[in-house]
Amino acid sequence: MYKVGVIGDRDSVIGFRAIGMAVYDTEDIELAGDYLRQMVRENYAVVFITEKLAEGNMNLIRELRNQKLPAVIPVPSITGSTGLGMKQVRESVRKAVGIDLFAESDSLQSQDTNNL
């Protein structure tokens, strides 16, 4: 049996405790990374992490992406979604296809300007 955990600031994640997840609350990005590493060792199957903390630990999350477990899933925090989760989906599309298939027109334009 594998566990399900969640990392995030206290306000965002405390409710998950009531539905049986293991909750690690922190607002510190480095500490979140340490928790995440610890959870990898402890056979977690799914780790939900708030988008803000995910953004700070992107390197570690990228490394974990190609491993079978755990699935690290960014979720919006109590202050709302930053769009990081969707960005990640698009990133894997770009990785596979070579181009951003689902790019909306506005992000396409911003990409073009970035390239120029």
Which CB atom, from 2 or from 109, has the smaller least distance to other proteins? 2
Q: Which tokens sit at 116? A: 């120029």
How far is residue 103's CA from residue 94's CA, in Å, rounded to a whole number? Answer: 10
Q: How far is the CB of 23 from other proteins (least distance, A)?
A: 8
Q: How far is the CB of 49 from other proteins (least distance, A)?
A: 11
Residue pair 5/21 in contact (Cβ under 8 Å)? The answer is: yes
Q: How far is the CB of 101 from other proteins (least distance, A)?
A: 8
Q: How far is the CB of 116 from other proteins (least distance, A)?
A: 26
Which CB atom, from 37 or from 87, has the smaller least distance to other proteins? 87
Chain residues binding other proteins by CB under 8 A are 1-4, 11-12, 14-22, 45-46, 48, 65-66, 68-69, 71, 73, 75-78, 80-81, 85-86, 88-89, 92-93, 95-98, 101-102
State how far the alpha carbon of 83 is from the alpha carbons of 2, 7, 27, 80, 89, in Å: 28, 18, 19, 9, 10
Determine how β-strand 44-50 pairs with β-strand 71-75.
Answer: parallel
